[in-house]
Amino acid sequence: MTELALRRQSGKKSYLQVILLSMGHFFNDFYCNFLPVLLPILIPKLGLSLTLSGVLVMVMSFSANVLQPVFGYFMDKYNFNKLMPFIIPFGAIFICLTSLVSEFWMLAILIGLSGLAVSTFHPMGAGLISKVSPEGKVSSSISIFVAGGSLGFAFSPILLVYFMNLFDLKYLPILIIPAFILGFFMYSSGLSRQRFVNEQVAKNMHFSFRRLFKNKPLMFLNISMGIRAWVFTALVTFLPLWAMHQGYDNTSSGWILTVYLCGSVIGGLVGGILNDKIGYKKVILWALILAIFPTMCFLFVSQMGILIYVVLFLSGALAMAANPGAIVWGQNFLPDNPGMASGMMLGLSFGLGGIGTMLTSSIAEWMGLSMALGLTTALLIISVVLVYITPVNLPNKYKNL
Protein backbone atom coordinates (compact mmCIF):
# COMPACT_ATOMS: atom_id res chain seq x y z
CA MET A 1 0.00 0.00 0.00
CA THR A 2 1.40 3.43 -0.97
CA GLU A 3 2.13 6.15 1.61
CA LEU A 4 -0.72 8.28 0.19
CA ALA A 5 -3.16 5.38 0.57
CA LEU A 6 -1.99 4.80 4.15
CA ARG A 7 -2.57 8.47 4.95
CA ARG A 8 -6.06 8.35 3.45
CA GLN A 9 -6.89 5.19 5.43
CA SER A 10 -5.52 6.78 8.62
CA GLY A 11 -7.53 9.95 7.94
CA LYS A 12 -10.76 7.98 7.45
CA LYS A 13 -10.12 6.11 10.69
CA SER A 14 -9.47 9.41 12.48
CA TYR A 15 -12.73 10.92 11.25
CA LEU A 16 -14.59 7.77 12.27
CA GLN A 17 -13.09 7.91 15.76
CA VAL A 18 -13.92 11.62 16.08
CA ILE A 19 -17.54 10.84 15.12
CA LEU A 20 -17.70 7.93 17.59
CA LEU A 21 -16.31 10.07 20.41
CA SER A 22 -18.83 12.78 19.55
CA MET A 23 -21.63 10.20 19.58
CA GLY A 24 -20.29 8.95 22.91
CA HIS A 25 -20.44 12.52 24.20
CA PHE A 26 -23.99 12.79 22.84
CA PHE A 27 -25.24 9.75 24.76
CA ASN A 28 -23.15 10.49 27.83
CA ASP A 29 -24.80 13.89 28.22
CA PHE A 30 -28.15 12.55 27.00
CA TYR A 31 -28.42 10.23 30.01
CA CYS A 32 -26.84 12.82 32.31
CA ASN A 33 -29.70 15.25 31.63
CA PHE A 34 -32.59 12.94 32.54
CA LEU A 35 -32.79 14.41 36.04
CA PRO A 36 -34.50 17.79 35.25
CA VAL A 37 -37.39 15.98 33.53
CA LEU A 38 -37.59 13.22 36.16
CA LEU A 39 -37.64 15.67 39.08
CA PRO A 40 -41.20 17.01 38.50
CA ILE A 41 -42.36 13.37 38.45
CA LEU A 42 -40.24 12.17 41.37
CA ILE A 43 -40.99 15.17 43.64
CA PRO A 44 -44.67 14.23 44.18
CA LYS A 45 -43.98 10.48 43.93
CA LEU A 46 -41.41 10.54 46.76
CA GLY A 47 -42.69 13.66 48.53
CA LEU A 48 -39.47 15.65 47.94
CA SER A 49 -39.01 19.34 48.78
CA LEU A 50 -37.17 21.78 46.49
CA THR A 51 -34.21 21.59 48.86
CA LEU A 52 -34.06 17.78 48.61
CA SER A 53 -34.34 18.02 44.83
CA GLY A 54 -31.40 20.44 44.98
CA VAL A 55 -29.49 17.82 47.01
CA LEU A 56 -30.05 15.31 44.19
CA VAL A 57 -28.66 17.83 41.71
CA MET A 58 -25.64 18.30 43.98
CA VAL A 59 -25.10 14.53 44.19
CA MET A 60 -25.16 14.28 40.40
CA SER A 61 -22.86 17.28 40.06
CA PHE A 62 -20.35 15.94 42.56
CA SER A 63 -20.10 12.45 41.07
CA ALA A 64 -20.41 13.63 37.46
CA ASN A 65 -18.30 16.77 37.64
CA VAL A 66 -16.22 17.44 40.76
CA LEU A 67 -14.41 14.09 40.43
CA GLN A 68 -13.43 14.68 36.79
CA PRO A 69 -9.99 16.25 37.41
CA VAL A 70 -9.04 13.36 39.71
CA PHE A 71 -10.20 10.78 37.18
CA GLY A 72 -8.45 12.78 34.46
CA TYR A 73 -5.16 12.59 36.35
CA PHE A 74 -5.34 8.81 36.73
CA MET A 75 -6.27 8.44 33.05
CA ASP A 76 -3.28 10.56 32.04
CA LYS A 77 -0.99 8.46 34.22
CA TYR A 78 -2.33 4.92 33.87
CA ASN A 79 -4.22 4.92 30.55
CA PHE A 80 -7.69 3.66 31.46
CA ASN A 81 -8.93 4.07 27.88
CA LYS A 82 -9.73 0.34 27.73
CA LEU A 83 -12.85 1.24 29.77
CA MET A 84 -14.24 3.45 26.98
CA PRO A 85 -16.77 0.91 25.53
CA PHE A 86 -18.30 0.26 28.97
CA ILE A 87 -18.70 3.81 30.31
CA ILE A 88 -21.91 4.86 28.49
CA PRO A 89 -23.80 1.61 29.31
CA PHE A 90 -22.74 1.93 32.97
CA GLY A 91 -24.25 5.42 33.25
CA ALA A 92 -27.38 4.48 31.32
CA ILE A 93 -28.19 1.51 33.54
CA PHE A 94 -28.17 3.45 36.81
CA ILE A 95 -30.03 6.58 35.65
CA CYS A 96 -32.76 4.43 34.06
CA LEU A 97 -33.15 2.33 37.22
CA THR A 98 -34.18 5.48 39.13
CA SER A 99 -37.68 4.88 37.77
CA LEU A 100 -38.03 1.80 39.99
CA VAL A 101 -37.03 3.22 43.40
CA SER A 102 -39.29 4.51 46.15
CA GLU A 103 -36.77 5.83 48.70
CA PHE A 104 -34.80 9.09 48.56
CA TRP A 105 -31.50 7.51 49.66
CA MET A 106 -31.69 4.83 46.95
CA LEU A 107 -32.47 7.47 44.36
CA ALA A 108 -29.42 9.47 45.48
CA ILE A 109 -27.16 6.38 45.22
CA LEU A 110 -28.33 5.54 41.69
CA ILE A 111 -27.90 9.14 40.56
CA GLY A 112 -24.41 9.23 42.08
CA LEU A 113 -23.40 5.98 40.33
CA SER A 114 -24.74 7.24 37.02
CA GLY A 115 -22.72 10.41 37.44
CA LEU A 116 -19.47 8.41 37.69
CA ALA A 117 -19.85 7.56 33.99
CA VAL A 118 -19.81 11.27 33.18
CA SER A 119 -16.73 11.84 35.38
CA THR A 120 -14.93 9.08 33.52
CA PHE A 121 -16.00 9.85 29.95
CA HIS A 122 -15.39 13.61 29.82
CA PRO A 123 -11.64 13.70 30.59
CA MET A 124 -11.08 10.49 28.63
CA GLY A 125 -13.04 11.67 25.58
CA ALA A 126 -11.60 15.20 25.61
CA GLY A 127 -8.07 13.80 25.89
CA LEU A 128 -8.60 11.27 23.11
CA ILE A 129 -10.23 13.70 20.70
CA SER A 130 -7.02 15.69 20.27
CA LYS A 131 -5.08 12.43 19.82
CA VAL A 132 -7.28 10.93 17.10
CA SER A 133 -8.10 14.19 15.26
CA PRO A 134 -6.96 14.41 11.63
CA GLU A 135 -3.83 16.49 11.15
CA GLY A 136 -4.57 20.22 11.39
CA LYS A 137 -8.17 19.61 12.50
CA VAL A 138 -7.81 19.53 16.29
CA SER A 139 -9.82 22.72 16.92
CA SER A 140 -12.72 21.70 14.67
CA SER A 141 -12.68 18.17 16.12
CA ILE A 142 -12.97 19.55 19.66
CA SER A 143 -15.89 21.74 18.52
CA ILE A 144 -17.63 18.68 17.01
CA PHE A 145 -16.98 16.74 20.23
CA VAL A 146 -18.41 19.56 22.37
CA ALA A 147 -21.39 19.91 20.01
CA GLY A 148 -22.12 16.18 20.33
CA GLY A 149 -22.46 16.49 24.09
CA SER A 150 -24.49 19.67 23.82
CA LEU A 151 -26.90 18.02 21.36
CA GLY A 152 -27.39 15.05 23.66
CA PHE A 153 -27.95 17.38 26.58
CA ALA A 154 -30.35 19.49 24.50
CA PHE A 155 -32.58 16.74 23.12
CA SER A 156 -32.61 14.60 26.25
CA PRO A 157 -35.47 16.52 27.97
CA ILE A 158 -37.89 16.67 25.05
CA LEU A 159 -37.24 13.07 23.93
CA LEU A 160 -37.71 11.90 27.50
CA VAL A 161 -40.93 13.93 27.82
CA TYR A 162 -42.39 12.25 24.71
CA PHE A 163 -41.20 8.85 25.93
CA MET A 164 -42.94 9.44 29.27
CA ASN A 165 -46.12 10.52 27.45
CA LEU A 166 -46.13 7.24 25.49
CA PHE A 167 -44.99 4.88 28.22
CA ASP A 168 -45.16 4.58 31.97
CA LEU A 169 -42.15 5.54 34.14
CA LYS A 170 -41.43 1.86 34.83
CA TYR A 171 -40.46 1.36 31.16
CA LEU A 172 -37.55 3.81 31.39
CA PRO A 173 -34.94 0.95 31.36
CA ILE A 174 -35.80 0.41 27.66
CA LEU A 175 -33.63 3.47 26.96
CA ILE A 176 -30.53 1.54 28.09
CA ILE A 177 -30.44 -0.30 24.72
CA PRO A 178 -28.77 2.48 22.60
CA ALA A 179 -25.92 2.69 25.14
CA PHE A 180 -25.03 -0.98 24.60
CA ILE A 181 -25.13 -0.57 20.80
CA LEU A 182 -22.74 2.39 20.98
CA GLY A 183 -20.48 0.49 23.39
CA PHE A 184 -20.14 -2.30 20.80
CA PHE A 185 -19.11 0.13 18.05
CA MET A 186 -16.61 1.84 20.35
CA TYR A 187 -15.08 -1.52 21.21
CA SER A 188 -14.73 -2.31 17.50
CA SER A 189 -13.17 1.07 16.61
CA GLY A 190 -9.85 0.70 18.44
CA LEU A 191 -10.44 3.77 20.60
CA SER A 192 -9.71 1.81 23.77
CA ARG A 193 -6.17 1.12 22.48
CA GLN A 194 -5.26 4.80 22.08
CA ARG A 195 -3.03 6.62 24.57
CA PHE A 196 -2.96 10.44 24.80
CA VAL A 197 -0.01 10.98 27.16
CA ASN A 198 3.61 9.97 26.50
CA GLU A 199 4.58 7.04 28.74
CA GLN A 200 7.67 8.82 30.08
CA VAL A 201 5.62 11.92 30.94
CA ALA A 202 3.02 9.71 32.62
CA LYS A 203 5.70 7.90 34.65
CA ASN A 204 6.95 11.16 36.15
CA MET A 205 3.48 12.56 36.76
CA HIS A 206 2.46 13.31 40.35
CA PHE A 207 -0.87 14.67 41.51
CA SER A 208 -0.54 17.75 43.69
CA PHE A 209 -3.36 19.93 45.02
CA ARG A 210 -0.66 22.41 46.04
CA ARG A 211 0.43 22.70 42.43
CA LEU A 212 -3.10 23.36 41.27
CA PHE A 213 -4.08 25.84 43.99
CA LYS A 214 -0.86 27.86 43.57
CA ASN A 215 -1.55 28.22 39.86
CA LYS A 216 -3.58 31.44 40.15
CA PRO A 217 -4.43 31.85 36.43
CA LEU A 218 -5.78 28.29 36.34
CA MET A 219 -7.79 28.88 39.53
CA PHE A 220 -9.22 32.18 38.24
CA LEU A 221 -10.28 30.50 35.00
CA ASN A 222 -11.80 27.51 36.80
CA ILE A 223 -13.74 29.64 39.30
CA SER A 224 -15.01 31.84 36.49
CA MET A 225 -16.18 28.81 34.52
CA GLY A 226 -17.67 27.41 37.74
CA ILE A 227 -19.85 30.51 38.13
CA ARG A 228 -20.89 30.29 34.48
CA ALA A 229 -21.72 26.61 35.01
CA TRP A 230 -23.72 27.52 38.13
CA VAL A 231 -25.94 29.79 36.05
CA PHE A 232 -26.23 27.21 33.26
CA THR A 233 -26.91 24.27 35.62
CA ALA A 234 -29.49 26.19 37.66
CA LEU A 235 -31.39 27.15 34.51
CA VAL A 236 -31.22 23.66 33.00
CA THR A 237 -32.39 22.11 36.27
CA PHE A 238 -35.25 24.48 37.04
CA LEU A 239 -36.44 25.74 33.64
CA PRO A 240 -39.17 23.03 33.36
CA LEU A 241 -40.37 23.83 36.87
CA TRP A 242 -40.15 27.59 36.20
CA ALA A 243 -42.18 27.13 32.99
CA MET A 244 -44.88 25.21 34.86
CA HIS A 245 -45.06 28.05 37.40
CA GLN A 246 -45.65 30.39 34.44
CA GLY A 247 -48.59 28.27 33.28
CA TYR A 248 -46.97 26.11 30.57
CA ASP A 249 -47.95 22.43 30.30
CA ASN A 250 -45.48 19.55 30.63
CA THR A 251 -44.73 19.27 26.90
CA SER A 252 -44.24 23.03 26.46
CA SER A 253 -41.93 23.04 29.48
CA GLY A 254 -39.84 20.34 27.82
CA TRP A 255 -39.65 22.40 24.62
CA ILE A 256 -38.58 25.50 26.56
CA LEU A 257 -35.62 23.61 28.00
CA THR A 258 -34.83 22.06 24.61
CA VAL A 259 -34.77 25.47 22.89
CA TYR A 260 -32.40 26.78 25.57
CA LEU A 261 -30.13 23.76 25.12
CA CYS A 262 -30.29 23.90 21.30
CA GLY A 263 -29.00 27.44 21.63
CA SER A 264 -26.13 26.05 23.69
CA VAL A 265 -25.24 23.66 20.84
CA ILE A 266 -25.01 26.46 18.28
CA GLY A 267 -23.22 28.70 20.76
CA GLY A 268 -20.57 26.04 21.37
CA LEU A 269 -19.95 25.59 17.63
CA VAL A 270 -19.82 29.34 16.90
CA GLY A 271 -17.62 29.94 19.94
CA GLY A 272 -15.20 27.27 18.73
CA ILE A 273 -14.98 28.90 15.28
CA LEU A 274 -14.52 32.39 16.72
CA ASN A 275 -11.72 31.15 19.00
CA ASP A 276 -9.47 30.70 15.95
CA LYS A 277 -10.38 34.13 14.58
CA ILE A 278 -10.34 36.52 17.55
CA GLY A 279 -8.93 34.46 20.43
CA TYR A 280 -10.66 32.48 23.16
CA LYS A 281 -10.30 35.13 25.87
CA LYS A 282 -12.30 37.68 23.86
CA VAL A 283 -14.93 35.08 22.95
CA ILE A 284 -15.37 34.05 26.61
CA LEU A 285 -15.49 37.65 27.87
CA TRP A 286 -18.11 38.86 25.41
CA ALA A 287 -20.19 35.68 25.73
CA LEU A 288 -20.37 36.09 29.51
CA ILE A 289 -21.20 39.80 29.31
CA LEU A 290 -23.93 39.39 26.71
CA ALA A 291 -25.45 36.28 28.35
CA ILE A 292 -26.77 38.35 31.26
CA PHE A 293 -29.30 40.34 29.19
CA PRO A 294 -31.40 37.65 27.43
CA THR A 295 -31.45 35.52 30.59
CA MET A 296 -32.82 38.37 32.71
CA CYS A 297 -35.25 39.19 29.90
CA PHE A 298 -37.09 35.86 29.82
CA LEU A 299 -37.07 35.55 33.62
CA PHE A 300 -38.66 38.92 34.36
CA VAL A 301 -40.35 40.27 31.21
CA SER A 302 -43.92 38.95 30.98
CA GLN A 303 -46.13 38.64 27.90
CA MET A 304 -43.24 37.77 25.56
CA GLY A 305 -45.16 35.16 23.58
CA ILE A 306 -43.12 33.54 20.82
CA LEU A 307 -40.19 35.87 21.58
CA ILE A 308 -39.46 33.89 24.74
CA TYR A 309 -38.07 31.09 22.56
CA VAL A 310 -35.76 33.52 20.71
CA VAL A 311 -34.47 34.96 23.97
CA LEU A 312 -34.05 31.47 25.48
CA PHE A 313 -32.07 30.38 22.42
CA LEU A 314 -29.74 33.40 22.70
CA SER A 315 -29.30 32.85 26.41
CA GLY A 316 -28.26 29.23 25.90
CA ALA A 317 -25.97 30.09 22.98
CA LEU A 318 -24.08 32.76 24.90
CA ALA A 319 -23.78 30.60 28.01
CA MET A 320 -22.11 27.77 26.07
CA ALA A 321 -20.02 29.84 23.62
CA ALA A 322 -17.32 30.01 26.30
CA ASN A 323 -16.97 26.23 26.63
CA PRO A 324 -14.59 25.23 23.77
CA GLY A 325 -12.25 28.14 24.54
CA ALA A 326 -12.15 27.22 28.22
CA ILE A 327 -11.05 23.66 27.36
CA VAL A 328 -8.23 24.89 25.09
CA TRP A 329 -7.19 27.54 27.62
CA GLY A 330 -7.10 24.99 30.45
CA GLN A 331 -5.04 22.53 28.40
CA ASN A 332 -2.57 25.32 27.61
CA PHE A 333 -2.17 25.90 31.35
CA LEU A 334 -1.58 22.15 31.97
CA PRO A 335 0.05 20.87 28.73
CA ASP A 336 1.29 17.61 30.31
CA ASN A 337 -2.09 16.82 31.87
CA PRO A 338 -4.74 17.11 29.13
CA GLY A 339 -7.15 14.77 30.92
CA MET A 340 -6.90 16.68 34.19
CA ALA A 341 -7.23 20.05 32.42
CA SER A 342 -10.29 18.84 30.52
CA GLY A 343 -11.70 17.45 33.74
CA MET A 344 -11.33 20.83 35.41
CA MET A 345 -12.95 22.80 32.59
CA LEU A 346 -15.67 20.28 31.73
CA GLY A 347 -16.13 18.72 35.13
CA LEU A 348 -14.96 20.63 38.18
CA SER A 349 -16.51 23.86 36.90
CA PHE A 350 -19.89 22.13 36.43
CA GLY A 351 -19.45 20.46 39.82
CA LEU A 352 -19.11 23.88 41.40
CA GLY A 353 -22.18 24.86 39.40
CA GLY A 354 -24.14 21.93 40.79
CA ILE A 355 -23.23 22.84 44.36
CA GLY A 356 -24.32 26.40 43.63
CA THR A 357 -27.59 25.11 42.19
CA MET A 358 -28.46 23.62 45.57
CA LEU A 359 -28.06 27.14 47.02
CA THR A 360 -30.27 28.50 44.23
CA SER A 361 -32.96 25.94 45.12
CA SER A 362 -32.89 27.03 48.78
CA ILE A 363 -33.21 30.70 47.78
CA ALA A 364 -36.11 29.73 45.50
CA GLU A 365 -38.09 28.39 48.47
CA TRP A 366 -37.54 31.71 50.23
CA MET A 367 -37.83 34.30 47.42
CA GLY A 368 -39.42 32.46 44.51
CA LEU A 369 -37.87 30.66 41.52
CA SER A 370 -37.63 33.66 39.15
CA MET A 371 -35.84 35.81 41.71
CA ALA A 372 -33.47 32.99 42.68
CA LEU A 373 -32.53 32.35 39.03
CA GLY A 374 -32.14 36.10 38.44
CA LEU A 375 -29.76 36.51 41.40
CA THR A 376 -27.77 33.51 40.19
CA THR A 377 -27.47 35.03 36.70
CA ALA A 378 -26.17 38.29 38.17
CA LEU A 379 -23.11 36.37 39.43
CA LEU A 380 -21.84 36.34 35.82
CA ILE A 381 -20.43 39.81 36.57
CA ILE A 382 -17.89 38.16 38.89
CA SER A 383 -17.10 35.61 36.18
CA VAL A 384 -16.40 38.41 33.70
CA VAL A 385 -13.96 40.11 36.10
CA LEU A 386 -12.06 36.85 36.73
CA VAL A 387 -11.70 36.12 33.00
CA TYR A 388 -10.53 39.69 32.38
CA ILE A 389 -7.65 39.40 34.89
CA THR A 390 -6.59 35.91 33.71
CA PRO A 391 -3.57 36.02 31.34
CA VAL A 392 -3.86 34.28 27.97
CA ASN A 393 -0.52 32.49 28.43
CA LEU A 394 0.71 30.97 31.67
CA PRO A 395 3.40 33.21 33.26
CA ASN A 396 6.79 31.52 33.69
CA LYS A 397 6.63 31.59 37.48
CA TYR A 398 3.71 29.12 37.40
CA LYS A 399 5.19 26.68 34.87
CA ASN A 400 7.47 24.84 37.29
CA LEU A 401 5.07 24.50 40.25
Q: What is the pTM of this model?
A: 0.74
Give the integer Cα–Cα distance in Å for 67 and 114: 13
The pLDDT value recorded for residue 385 is: 95
Q: Can you give the pLDDT at residue 177?
A: 95
Nearest to 91 by CA among 16, 143, 26: 26
Q: Which DSSP helix (H) or strand (E) runs through 366?
A: helix 349-367
Confidence grade of residue 280 (pLDDT, cut at 50, 70, 90): confident
Spans of all domains in the chain: 15-205, 210-400
Pick the CATH number of 210-400 from 3.30.70.20, 3.40.47.10, 1.20.1250.20, 3.40.109.10: 1.20.1250.20
Q: Look at residue 6 in the predicted model and tell me its pLDDT.
A: 33
339-357 average pLDDT score:
77
Residue 223 has pLDDT above 70, yes or no: yes
Query: What's the mean pLDDT in 229-250?
Result: 84
132-143 tens-digit pLDDT: 777 766 667 777
CB 285 within 8 A of CB 388: yes
Q: What is the pLDDT of residues 6-31, one digit of tens each?
A: 344 444 557 788 888 999 999 999 99
Q: What is the pLDDT of residues 156-186, one digit of tens each?
A: 877 888 888 888 888 899 999 999 999 998 8
Q: Give me the mean pLDDT over the 236-254 stretch.
A: 81
Q: What's the CATH code, domain 15-205? A: 1.20.1250.20
> Rounded distance, CA 339 to CA 359, Å?
29
Q: Look at 217-231, 295-309, 316-330, 334-348 and tell me which has the smallest mean pLDDT.
A: 334-348
pLDDT at 5: 41
Query: How many CB atoms neighbour CB 218 within 10 A?
Result: 24
Over residues 66-124, the pLDDT tens digits come to 788 778 777 777 777 778 889 999 999 999 998 888 888 899 999 999 999 988 888 88
Q: What sign results for the dihedral spanned by CA atoms 217, 222, 223, 228?
A: positive
Q: How many CB atoms lie within 10 A of CB 104?
A: 15
Across 374-395, average pLDDT: 90
